[in-house]
Amino acid sequence: MTEQLRARLSTIVDADLGRTLGELSAIHDIVVEGTTVKVYLTLIQPLHLVATVIHKACLSAITEIMPAAKAEIYVQEVAPQNAAKRGLGGVKNLIAVSSGKGGVGKSTIAANIAAGLASFGAQVGLVDADIHGPSVPTMFDLEGELLRGEKTEDGKFYGYPHEKYGIKLASMGFIMGREQAAVMRGPMQAGYFSTLIEQIYWGDLDFMIFDLPPGTGDIQLTMAQKVPLTGAVIVTTPQNLALADVRRGITMFTKTNIPVLGVVENMSYYVLPDGTCDYIFGEGGGKRMAAEQNVPFLGEVPLNIRIRQGGDEGMPIVLREDAALQAQPIKDVVAQIIKQVRLRNFALMQTPTVEIAL
Ligand SMILES: Nc1ncnc2c1ncn2[C@@H]1O[C@H](COP(=O)(O)OP(=O)(O)O)[C@@H](O)[C@H]1O
Ligand SMILES: [Mg+2]
């Protein structure tokens, strides 16, 4: 019976990875005790979307073979080792959200990625490292808040992240005044960024999202040196100028060996009252550019008033139950990101461990 169950369960597909549980050697053990069937699986994390799907598929496969069975499915998550030291050591997946230019909706998308992941059940942190215009204070209704913390015995300051909607938050805006940003030199910016990642009690998280300043500067450099990123998500609008900047952004990440998880096209279209999509700035630019650069395309997000309001009112749209329809394209992007992270983690676990020097 066990072998029959194993053969059937082996055919179930892990959709993100495009491989069967058999191919993934995911079935660790099957124990049949009378009418009870216990299945022990080993799956690549993060499992926030795929776990229930695989769980259901296993249950129905078991009842196909043993209709009266009482099935118990146990899943063990496996993950590549996080090479981060100090503050980020407990964080499993680190994702930078980047753009070539300002104003493309990078912070809006970053906040909604963080909130979307949290809504799927993940433990999430968001680091707002955009020195030129910190937006977490506004987008999470925390304006005027400062970083709270304590001095440890060695005389160093350690801060606590703020927490809102279950998401842990830190922002350049919590440690500097608004007017200070413009006059701050590169090394100082890098110092503040280090504080956010090394001197905050982040604890254990499934994801850490970084909202980076646009372009390629000191903060990006510090990031590449100190943060073992899982990958980068690049946000663009469909206009040509923005797309040229995107190419530069992709080159920066690939040169520093940071995988590009994909491109999100924001403000792609506007939904007209009759339900048709008006591609104001032209259709398919982001998708073509992703294909040209050989990176995944993560989806199109429309121009929508509720998305803008979510930012201004301090609650990302993906968390608003009354805007489920308008938030769906962003949730689809989040699902694509989870898939890319899982593919990346799968690839990492196929190769021998590489020590990353920090
Ligand atoms: N898809 C969208 N629909 C409507 N407004 C948007 C959308 N994306 C971003 N915005 C708005 O555009 C402005 C700029 O977005 P922001 O996220 O601050 O850009 P960036 O971080 O790239 O500078 C904000 O007012 C934001 O609310
Ligand atoms: Mg921004």
Residue 172 CA, ligand 2 centroid: distance in Å: 12
Cβ–ligand 1 distance for 311 under 6 Å, the answer yes
Q: What is the pLDDT of residue 21?
A: 98
> What is the structure's pLDDT at 55?
96
CATH number for region 86-350:
3.40.50.300
pLDDT value of position 85: 67
230 CB within 6 A, ligand 1: no
Amino acid (1-letter code) at residue 4:
Q
Ligand 1 centre to CA of 321 (Å) is 20
**Residue range 86-103, pLDDT digits in tens:** 778 899 999 999 998 889
93, 166, 226, 329 from 84: Cα distances, Å: 10, 23, 8, 32
Q: Which ligand lies nearest the alpha carbon of 105?
A: 1
Question: 264 - beta bridge partners?
Answer: 235, 299
Q: Do domains 2-78 and 86-350 have the same CATH topology?
A: no
pLDDT of residue 181: 57
Q: Is the CB of 327 under 6 A from ligand 1?
A: no
Domain topology for 2-78: GMP Synthetase; Chain A, domain 3 (3.30.300)
Q: Cα–Cα distances in Å, from 349 out to 31, 292, 346?
A: 27, 28, 5
Would you list the domain boundaries of the chain? Answer: 2-78, 86-350
CA atoms within 13 A on the CB side of 168: 21
Task: Give the residue ranges of the chain where pLDDT is below 70.
Answer: 85, 177-184, 352-358
pTM of the model: 0.93
For residue 316, how far is its CA from the centre of ligand 2 (angstroms)? Answer: 14
Cα 139 from Cα 309, distance rounded (Å):
9
Give the torsion sign (CA, 132, 308, 332, 142): positive
Instruction: Tell me which residue has its CA closest to atom 15 in ligand 1.
Output: 105
Cα distances from 298 to residues 108, 112, 239, 305, in angstroms, run: 16, 14, 17, 22
